[in-house]
């Protein structure tokens, strides 16, 4: 399929409020006339901001991008609790609490326990499966399901502003962090309740919202035959060391031939046994992703040792 496709690479996209992440990918696929496409991490319909979309051969690397850290700007509204922990749940009966009248100093003090590695309960309306059931489906049926607790990491939790009941935060966190749960838990810590009123994702790994394209940008660039120059190549997205091989061997990578010391024209970067590695041709084009069988320090001493264990062939 990839041979018939025109585009191969990664696009940072500015997702609008009201669309699901799947809707955004579908619209891009229709606009450019390609079947292959996917994203590296869901944004809820009520959230906007950066959605990293993989196209063509790059769809095979999406799982290597899901573990990257993310950055958000969140608006948390104090004084109301939502059953979904966000604005979507306001259609249900919600407890309206009195204006807490909290100072900036009180809010700053309440944020401190949420910095660093924390334990966080998955929100009730989440797509996570427990006992084979989606949590959000069980919640809609009124079923009580024990929700999992996960360890996540919040590296940066900055207070941007306080405007009446609205608290704006900058959050840099690990994969799997629920900002909805953070909003709910902060409200409980402050004793006034809270829900996530707005969310914008500003960074995903090496990608920034400042460099993203809107859907209308993508459609226009495709129509003008200019989209290809805005695609980020696979080898620039993955921060892995690489083994460069000759063109005759590169043409056979789809068959998974063993890669030995004599096959390597050049090593780019340093690596240890088990580290992720790229396999590239002489032009730097990524052919496959795998793991190092020996470390780069051993390369000169390994006469005919196998260097590379395949995980994904990208041809």
Six-digit token string for 127: 């797509």
In sequence order, the β-bridge partners of residue 83 are none
Give the number of other CB atoms < 10 A from CB of residue 152.
16
Catalytic residues: 44
Average pLDDT over residues 4-27: 93
Same domain, 226 and 244: no
Task: Give pLDDT, residue 94.
Answer: 59
Q: Domain total for the chain?
A: 3
Span 244-289, pLDDT tens digits: 999 899 999 999 999 988 899 999 999 999 999 999 999 989 999 9
Span 34-64, pLDDT tens digits: 988 899 888 989 999 999 999 998 999 888 8
Task: Band the pLDDT of 1: cuts 50, 70, 90.
Answer: very low
Same domain, 159 and 218: no
Residue 275 CB-density burial (10 A; 0-12 exposed, 13-18 middle, 19+ buried): middle
Instruction: Name the percent of the chain lying above pLDDT 90.
Output: 63
Torsion over CA: 68, 254, 55, 224 (sign): positive
Cα separation, 38 vs 11, in Å, equals: 10
Cα separation, 259 vs 310, in Å, equals: 9
| For the chain, the helix, strand and coil percentages under 3-state DSSP, each to the nearest 5 | 30, 35, 35
H helical segments located in the chain: 21-32, 62-65, 104-111, 135-140, 179-190, 215-223, 234-237, 247-250
Cα separation, 127 vs 156, in Å, equals: 26
**CA distances in angstroms from 6 to 25, 32, 227, 231, 275, listed in the order given:** 16, 9, 10, 11, 31
Residue 79 contacts residue 165 (beta carbons within 8 Å): yes
Same domain, 87 and 180: yes
Task: Band the pLDDT of 124: cuts 50, 70, 90.
Answer: confident
If we measure between CA atoms, which residue out of 183, 153, 157 comes closest to residue 67?
A: 153
Same domain, 88 and 187: yes
Same domain, 52 and 100: no
Give the number of other CB atoms < 10 A from CB of residue 303.
8
Same domain, 176 and 82: yes
Cα separation, 124 vs 184, in Å, equals: 11
Residue 157: domain span: 70-204
Pairing of strands 259-260, 241-245: unpaired
Same domain, 100 and 217: no
Same domain, 220 and 182: no
In sequence order, the β-bridge partners of residue 149 are 121
Cα separation, 263 vs 68, in Å, equals: 32
Task: Give pLDDT, residue 123.
Answer: 87
Answer yes or no: is pLDDT of 222 > 70: yes
Task: Give pLDDT, residue 2.
Answer: 45
Task: Give pLDDT, residue 99.
Answer: 58
**CA distances in angstroms from 75 to 22, 81, 128, 167, listed in the order given:** 24, 14, 24, 6
Task: Give pLDDT, residue 95.
Answer: 59
Task: Band the pLDDT of 221: cuts 50, 70, 90.
Answer: very high
Span 66-96, pLDDT tens digits: 778 899 999 999 989 998 899 987 776 555 6
- Looking at 204, 226, 255, the residue that finishes a domain is 204
In sequence order, the β-bridge partners of residue 80 are 96
Query: For the domain that residue 272 is a member of, what is the CATH number?
Result: 2.30.130.10
Same domain, 282 and 218: no
**Average pLDDT along the chain:** 89
Same domain, 186 and 115: yes
In sequence order, the β-bridge partners of residue 133 are 130
pTM for this model (two decimals): 0.86
Query: For the domain that residue 229 is a member of, what is the CATH number?
Result: 3.30.2350.10
Rg (CA), the chain: 23
Same domain, 152 and 180: yes
Cα separation, 288 vs 256, in Å, equals: 9
SS3 label, residue 184: helix
Instruction: Name the percent of the chain lying above pLDDT 70.
Output: 94
Q: What is the dihedral of CA 254, 255, 261, 263, to 10 degrees?
A: -70
Same domain, 249 and 229: no
Task: Give pLDDT, residue 139.
Answer: 65
Cα separation, 293 vs 195, in Å, equals: 48
Name the more confident of 135 and 6.
6
Six-digit token string for 258: 């063993």
């Amino acid at each position: 399929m990839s041979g018939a496709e025109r585009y191969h690479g990664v696009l940072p996209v500015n997702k609008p409020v009201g669309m699901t992440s799947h809707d955004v990918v579908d619209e891009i696929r229709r606009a450019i006339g390609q079947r292959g496409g996917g994203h590296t991490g869901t944004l809820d319909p009520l959230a906007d901001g950066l959605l990293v979309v993989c196209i063509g051969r790059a769809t095979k690397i999406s799982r290597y991008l899901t573990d990257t850290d993310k950055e958000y700007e969140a608006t948390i509204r104090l004084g109301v609790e939502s059953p979904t922990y966000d604005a979507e749940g306001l259609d249900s009966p919600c407890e309206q609490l009195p204006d807490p009248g909290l100072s900036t100093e009180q809010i700053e003090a309440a944020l401190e326990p949420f910095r660093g590695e924390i334990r966080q309960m998955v929100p009730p309306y989440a797509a996570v499966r427990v006992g084979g059931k989606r949590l959000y489906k069980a919640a809609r049926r009124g079923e009580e399901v024990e929700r999992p607790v996960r360890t996540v990491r919040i590296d940066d939790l900055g207070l941007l502003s306080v405007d009446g009941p609205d608290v704006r935060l900058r959050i840099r966190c690990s994969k799997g962090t629920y900002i909805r749960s953070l909003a709910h838990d902060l409200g409980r810590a402050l004793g006034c309740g809270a829900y996530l009123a707005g969310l914008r994702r500003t960074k995903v790994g090496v990608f920034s919202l400042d460099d993203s394209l809107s859907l209308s940008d993508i459609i226009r660039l495709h129509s003008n035959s200019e989209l290809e120059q805005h695609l980020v190549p696979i080898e620039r997205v993955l921060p892995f060391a690489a083994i460069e091989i000759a063109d005759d061997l590169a043409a056979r990578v789809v068959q998974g031939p063993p890669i030995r010391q004599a096959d390597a024209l050049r090593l780019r970067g340093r690596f240890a046994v088990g580290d992720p590695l790229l396999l590239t041709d002489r032009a730097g084009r990524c052919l496959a992703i795998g793991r190092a069988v020996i470390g780069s320090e051993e390369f000169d001493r390994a006469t005919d040792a196998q260097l590379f264990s395949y995980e994904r062939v990208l041809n």
